[in-house]
Amino acid sequence: MLGIIGAMADEVSQLKQEMSNVKIVQAAGMEFYQGTIGGKEAVVVRSGIGKVNAAMCVQILADRFQVDGIVNTGIAGSLRAEINIGDMVLSTDAVQHDVDAVAFGYPVGQIPQMDVFSFEADEKLRKMALACSQKVNPDLGVFEGRIVTGDQFISDKEKKQWLTDTFQGFCTEMEGAAIAQAAYLNGIPFLIVRAISDKADDSASMDYPEFERQAILHSTRLTKALIEAY
Q: List, by residue number, the catalytic residues.
A: 11, 198
CA nearest to 170, candidates 191, 140, 139, 149: 149
d(CA 38, CA 221): 13
CB-based contact 88:218 (threshold 8 Å): yes
CA nearest to 176, candidates 112, 100, 89: 89
Cα–Cα separations (whole angstroms), residue 26 to 29, 58, 85, 136, 162: 7, 14, 35, 32, 39
